[in-house]
Amino acid sequence: MPMLPRDRIAQAVTQPATRPALVAFATAGYPNAETFLPTLRRIAEHADVVELGVPFTDPMADGVTIQRSSEGALAQGVSLRWIFDRLEQRDFDLGAPLLMMSYLNPLLTFGYRALAERAAKVGVDGFIVPDLPYEESGPLREALDEHGLALVQLVTPATPAPRLETLCAASRGFVYAVTVTGITGGANALPAELSDYFDRVKRAAGNLPVCAGFGIRNREDVARIGAGVDGVIVGSALVEILERGEDPGAFLQQLKSPA
């Protein structure tokens, strides 16, 4: 039996070529919609999992970088449908599992059943939905389950213990441990002491791997944060690299080399 999409994600995080696993986030079609597929391909060559952002008019959990990328992509006509169409047209194998990060309304508008079917067809392995807490996630989770797709659950340092258990048990692919109380791309330094928090999350996650995200910008962050978890998620820093027209592959590669 072929591996389920959500298990592909878990495996890619658990067994990366070099530890920690690297999850690379980019907003689809930003800064240039025309080079979407080659950019995606380049990122996937150097990341263990790719997280593709679906632009939205009101990204309320995101900082200025991802807001700017969202506006820039929308201005070029990028939408969920556009992304699916491009993914379907690609003539190469991605090599790394693909997650989509989207606010809920575009997914709701697409329709959950149609979404899961189309996502599975074009090789999307799962979703991260920052404005969909566990309590409201039943209908989407059910639709994704039908196709073995992951719904990755976020947990935060403020998540109380009983809730942490519930969220980890519900998560698929990996557990997304938010490092800071705040929005993405924060300028503040990462907390010095995260190991207790990571230990709590890992205990609650059991066999499911844990990836840490928010505020991870460079090789030092990757090494330090990565020591306590299975994988790290790099978002705003990569978006800035793409924005400046620099090579995402080289950036991701140096993140993985010893600090």
Helix, coil or strand: residue 249: helix
Q: Which is nearer to other proteins, 39 or 156 (CB)?
A: 156
Using the minimum distance from each CB to other proteins, give the nearer residue, 32 or 137. 137
Is 63 or 228 the residue whose CB approaches other proteins more closely?
Answer: 63
CB of residue 258 vs other proteins: minimum separation in angstroms? 32
- b/e string for 216-234 if b means 16 or more Cβ within 10 A? bbeeebbbbbbebbbbbbb
Rounded-to-integer distance, Cα 189 and Cα 169, Å = 30
Instruction: Give the residue with the Cβ less far from other proteins, 17 or 161.
Output: 161
The answer, yes or no, to whether the previous bond of 5 is cis (omega within 30 of 0) is no
Just list the catalytic residues. Answer: 51, 62
Q: Toward other proteins, which CB reaches closer, 4 or 108? A: 108
By beta-carbon proximity to other proteins, the closer residue of 81 and 121 is: 81
Nearest CA-CA partner of 30 in 17, 20, 43: 43
Residue 99 C-beta: closest distance to other proteins, Å = 17
Consecutive H or E run containing 154: strand 150-155
Contact 96, 47 (CB under 8 A): yes
Query: Considering the complex, what minimum distance in angstroms separates the CB of residue 206 from other proteins?
Result: 19
* 3-state SS, residue 176: strand
Other Cβ atoms within 10 Å of 147 Cβ, number: 20
Q: Which residues bind other proteins (CB under 8 A)?
A: 56-64, 67, 71, 74, 79-81, 103-110, 130-133, 135-136, 153-156, 158-160, 163, 167, 178, 181-183, 186
Ramachandran category for residue 227: left, alpha or beta (phi over 0 → left; psi -120 to 50 → alpha) = alpha
241 half-sphere exposure, CB direction, 13 A CA radius: 23
Q: Minimum Å distance from CB 103 to other proteins?
A: 8
- Residue 58 three-state SS: coil
CB of 46 vs other proteins, minimal distance in Å: 29
> Of 246, 240, 229, 255, nearest to 185 (Cα)?
240
CB of 95 to other proteins, least distance (A): 29
DSSP assignment letter at 188? S
